[in-house]
Structure 1
């Protein structure tokens, strides 16, 4: 079995901690504690901080350390909007290329999301759904870009929203089954926007209160 890239392990851990609210906007990342928690040396931690800064998730201040970027609600919504635009294009392509076997797999993932009560299983079904559609686009470049965008938006919202997501997913599959690329793409765009709106309601933003948001 190939050994995981240690830098990637750290990047994924910190990224998820940020987007699940475990690390708050503006919070300092203690690299010594992180190295101890992940049982790693300081080298992959430092390399991960550089990669995360390139992603715009953290900022490093000389002689002070690395801090979670001070995200605003609109920052998160903008990330989801870009994600929605690329997902829309991939879904249009998928409507042309998707196979009957992939349609069946999509319906299965929708049923699993609706049936499971465990949040982790629902999240797995959600990931499978989007991965199938992305592969069906038959565009390696779109798949790469969507993978990057998916890792740059919040995740882990277990408290609510799964029923709505399952409903959105079923609508998208039904359009794909009819080869209606325009309707499927529109449904995907609105689905991603719904997710973004849910994300900003879930996350805590110390700068701008609890006002309503629209995607």
Structure 2
């Protein structure tokens, strides 16, 4: 996660670059994962590959690759020669995933408390202040930037694992989880306070708590969506 820079697009009139096959599969993975974790596709729902292909304007090949990846994540049950259905996820499965994320993110936060320099801490404060102000439309981008500064403190392999875990939760969390932005403000303030105080243990615990509560909020959202029929 880096500063909120805008990546320039192609010049007007330029020929669009072709979408790479691997990037196409990632796009399909993000789309299907988002549909599941936002509660739109419930356990037992069969993945309509033709509908996905039409929605994303892709061929069946990257869809098949995406189904394998999501099967490995546990979000889908892939049935040979029959396609895939949304797995029978439980609330505990959802919370467990966020708590695992929290363990790794907590490690990064502990490192940030002892290694961030004053300029980086000021960047963290500035992002948090924009979050508190609440006038920025893209809260997800601010959240991404806040965590990126912290995650940069971690070693290369830990950052790699964090990127994997980060991609496996909805990117637009603040758009569908009612009231979560207000809770996140408090969590981020507590994490920032621990980092400023150079208290690595508190930073770790507060980050773990933040991700645990994120998981609980995700479960509450899915319950409101009727994700679990009972």
TM-score (normalised: structure 1): 0.88
Matches within 5 A, 1:50-89: 50-89=68-107
After superposition, give the CA deviation of every residue in 1:84-108 in whole Å (9 maximum; x if it has no partner). 1111111111111112121112112
Q: 1:43 aligns with which of 51, 58, 61?
A: 61
Shift of 1:121: 0.8
Higher RCO (CA 8 Å, separation ≥ 6 residues): 2
- Residue aligning to 2:200: 181
Q: Contact between 1:25 and 1:68, CA under 8 Å: does it hold in 2?
A: yes
- Residue aligning to 1:122: 139
Matches within 5 A, 1:1-215: 3-4=19-20, 5-116=23-134, 121-137=138-154, 139-154=155-170, 156=173, 157-204=176-223, 205-206=227-228, 209=230
Shift of 1:117: 5.0
After superposition, give the CA deviation of every residue in 1:79-132 in whole Å (9 maximum; x if it has no partner). 1121111111111111111121211121122122222356x6111111111111
Instruction: Specify the SS of the correspondent of 1:71.
Output: coil
- Consecutive unaligned residues of structure 2, counting only runs of 5 or more, are 1-9, 11-16
- Consecutive unaligned residues of structure 1, counting only runs of 5 or more, are 210-215
Distance in 1 separating the partners of 2:31 and 2:123: 29
TM-score (normalised: structure 2): 0.83
Shift of 1:136: 2.1
Shift of 1:154: 4.6
Q: Contact between 2:44 and 2:88, CA under 8 Å: does it hold in 1?
A: yes
Instruction: Specify the SS of the correspondent of 2:126.
Output: helix
Shift of 1:169: 0.3
Query: Displaced runs of 4+ in structure 1, greater than 3 A?
Result: 1-4
Distance in 1 separating the partners of 2:177 and 2:120: 26
- Residue aligning to 2:6: none
Distance in 2 separating the partners of 1:70 and 1:115: 40
Shift of 1:152: 2.3
Distance in 2 separating the partners of 1:162 and 1:66: 34
